[in-house]
Chain A
Amino acid sequence: MNTAAPALEVTAVSRNFGGVAALADVSFSVREGEVMGLIGPNGAGKSTLFEIVSGNLPPSAGRIAYFGADCTAQPSHLRRRAGMCRTFQKVRLFESMTVAQNIAVAASQCPTPGRSTRDEVDAILTQLRLEPLAARRPAALTLADRKRVEIGRAIAGHCRLLMLDESLSGLTHEEAEHLIGEVLALNRTRSITVIVVEHVLSVLAAMVQRLVVLNNGRLIADGTPREVAHDPVVIEAYLGKKHGALL
């Protein structure tokens, strides 16, 4: 694997559903260690792109490369084992299993060399302050805790790229801030590259180094949060007509 290559490289990806183009010729890349935001209004194609990158949906055209290796045709479980991790827009936990078991599933399937499943589960429970909830089942958790458990399961074992699908939605301001802090800590302590999908720009501005903006299935901006917030094309996509900056 080429370590100098970008963590993720999306090249000319398109996806059609019948006659509708959900994504058209989208290209961008993410550097290793970067925290990148992917935003766009509802229906922009964020979720479709997310599903294609994570291997749940094949692209109609284009190429996905992960640390330099083409993974376009690779099934999602193999991408996960290679360290490409994700959460879901609507939290999807294993409801019959405890919090610790949820994390153990991923830790055992994507083992970290030299670390047992139990050690990995304990480390994640500690890092995400989930120890008191370890024996609980997801149904007994708050939304914020469910999202933290899902992140814990996503990073368990071998993880190099974490993709968060609207993990902040539905949380209070305080809960969202806590979660952002935890994700940034993961980025620092575990050297995990992070892609965050959200539809509200202001939520991401303080969190990410770079933003990619989609609208109607096309990439319309790529830059720092400040550059994107002042981009007239982005402002028009969000507000429908010429306004001031979004931030």
Chain B
Amino acid sequence: MDAPLAASGKVTPQPARAARWRTLAPYVLPIVVIAVLPLLPFVNNYIIAATVRALIFISLGQAWNIVAGIGGQLSLGHGVFLGLGCYTTGILFNRYGIPPWIGGWAGMLISLAVALVMGSMTLRMRGVFFALATVAVSLALVQIALHFVDLTGGGDGLALKFFGNSLWAMQSRAPAPFLYGSLAFVVAYYWITRWVLASDFGFAMQAVRDDEVAAAAAGVAVFRTKVTGFMLSAAMTALAAVLYMQFYMAIDPEAAFGLSQAIQLQLPALLGGLGTALGPVIGGAVMIFLSEVTNWGSTKLGINGVDILVYGLMLLAVILRAPKGIVGLVFKNALGGSSR
């Protein structure tokens, strides 16, 4: 469309362009704010590191949201794919000198294979039985990781060899580079979720979530849809695990496959709003903010575990008062079909 010409002869801004900017502003502004964070004088490494933690958990939460929020399959064992991603990256790097740029893809492929086998065995089960089956797999992997001490470091965990600032090794003494990496993950995963929600595949997943029998009667291949969603979620989790591993520099069986980690992966989507693209973003930010505040509070008070208590209370409050999460409170009709 040609730009309208004002009486002065100057080209005035197009209404369409203004409308597009109003649409994009809520997405672009937070990205810009986070991107310039390291440049601000009052922002120290502690704040940047906390932001990186939030962004990593937003990515992991978004990945879990695909299978549980959109697909309705309550996987309580998604730590399996976080652990496989972390261990694969770490072992390939420490033992064979393969950088995480390549190791991450290997972790993703292994996770895809495990998700295919695990999904094929468990996704015919419904509701609580599927959830329990995923817990069983993650508990089994804790034991396997503890058993193969030479490979995984056993209970002591696996620490990455540190090379200092190295792009090849994806390592940095300062948290700022991870800020940009994790921000890229959040943006990419947000758009993947939006794409899934608006796609035929996403409609099929939501149909299966709502009613499997009716979905089959509408032509949806229920089992294949569930397995594909599970594999997509697993691949996204394993890929985000590279960032987790490189940022924390170590992993142990409990941090990888443990149930408390599995709950942390779920909280962003549960708090923010299951089945929405925006939910895990809001939920992850709130979770890490409260975690930092309660950590600070528990240090001041000298009481350990206050953050876990707060997680539990947050979960209880969401389940009782806002089952559609924060997004559901703010946006009407946030669940199902909405691509927010």
B209 at the interface (CB under 8 A from A): yes
* B177 → A minimal CB distance (Å): 40
A154 at the interface (CB under 8 A from B): yes
What residue in chain B is nearest A110 (Cβ atoms)?
A: B219
B93 at the interface (CB under 8 A from A): no
Tell me the count of chain A residues lying within 8 A, CB to CB, of chain B: 31
* B204 → A minimal CB distance (Å): 7
**Most chain A CB within a 10 A radius of its CB, from B206, B217, B333, B337:** B217
Contact pattern, B 83-113, Cβ under 8 Å of A = 1, otherwise 0 = 0000000000000000000000000000000
* A29 → B minimal CB distance (Å): 22
Residues of B within 8 A of A199 (CB): none
What residue in chain A is nearest B210 (Cβ atoms)?
A: A94
Contact among B211, B220, B222 for A92, CB-based, below 8 A: B211
Contact among B211, B220, B335, B337 for A77, CB-based, below 8 A: B220
Which A101-143 residues sit within 8 Å CB-CB of chain B?
Answer: 101, 104-106, 108-110, 117, 137
* B188 → A minimal CB distance (Å): 25
* Residues B219 and A93 in contact, CB atoms below 8 Å apart: no
What residue in chain A is nearest B219 (Cβ atoms)?
A: A109
* B46 → A minimal CB distance (Å): 41
A224 at the interface (CB under 8 A from B): no
* Main SS class of interface, B: helix
The 3 A-B residue pairs with the shortest CB-CB distance in the complex, in nearest-first order: A96-B336, A109-B219, A106-B218
Q: List 28 A-B contacts (CB under 8 A).
A: A75-B216, A76-B217, A77-B216, A77-B217, A77-B220, A77-B221, A80-B219, A88-B213, A92-B217, A93-B211, A94-B206, A94-B215, A94-B336, A95-B210, A96-B336, A97-B336, A98-B337, A101-B203, A104-B203, A105-B203, A105-B204, A105-B215, A108-B200, A108-B203, A109-B220, A110-B218, A153-B218, A156-B218
Excluding A56-B213, A80-B216, A96-B337, 16 further A-B contacts by CB distance (< 8 Å) are A55-B216, A77-B219, A77-B220, A77-B221, A80-B218, A95-B336, A96-B209, A97-B210, A97-B337, A101-B203, A105-B204, A105-B219, A110-B218, A137-B333, A153-B218, A157-B219
A interface with B by C-beta (< 8 Å): 54-56, 75-77, 80-81, 85-86, 88, 92-98, 101, 104-106, 108-110, 117, 137, 153-154, 156-157
